[in-house]
A = this chain, B = another copy of it.
Amino acid sequence: MARYQVGIQTEARIIEATRSLLAEDGMEATTLKAICDRAEVRSGSFYNLFDSKEDAIIRVVRESIEAVDPDPHHAGTDTVDDLVEAYIRFFDEEPKMARVYVKAALAGDSSANGARRRFLRHHQRRVERFADAMQRGNTSLTPEDGAVQAELLLGALDGLAFRWALDQSFDFPKHALLAAERLV
């Protein structure tokens, strides 16, 4: 039998509760109890719809990233500048979420590598998009060099973002643009 409307709505309420908690108060405040209280749901309902707390968090973070995607339909027309700008925008518009993104990638013990694997896949897709955009902008670039260059640029952006997560007075956009200039 198909899903019930009420279940779909509950799921949406839980996602929204998780999203707002992460955005307002960060990872530490986003406990199962807090999510359930805000969504007006009991924990049993939560686990009827989600595999784990991590599951809900990952979905929320992914949605946040997609919301600032310059090319959500993957038409393959975005430039490196577009992609860098989107990256900067994510940190600018959703700072709390960005910190969650960085933390979640490292969270969980070494055995429970579910979250890490997902983040790695996401990173690899991003590397491909950067590499594609780089090759569109420079047709003499080999695919291998494009991939390496994309890893370098994304690495630099991630590192500067990490720096900013440590100290929010750090001028992330300025340094990110400089890094992009030098690494493309």
Contact = CB atoms under 8 A, between A and B. Distances in A.
Interface string A39-59: 000000000000000000000
A144 interface: no
A165 B113 CA distance: 12
A179 interface: yes
Contacts of A158: 158-159, 162-163
A159 B154 contact: yes
Nearest to A176: B155
Given A106-B102, A162-B162, A155 B182 contact: no
Contacts of A166: 105-106, 116, 119-120, 123
Contacts of A148: 175, 178
Nearest to A160: B155
B152 A178 contact: yes
Contacts of A62: none
A110 B163 contact: no
A182 B155 CA distance: 13
Interface in A150-170: 151-152, 154-163, 165-167, 170
Interface of A: 26, 28-29, 99, 102-103, 105-106, 109-110, 116, 119-120, 123, 148, 151-152, 154-163, 165-167, 170, 175, 178-179, 182-183
Given A99-B106, A119-B166, A156-B183, 6 more contacts: A106-B162, A106-B166, A148-B175, A151-B160, A158-B158, A159-B161
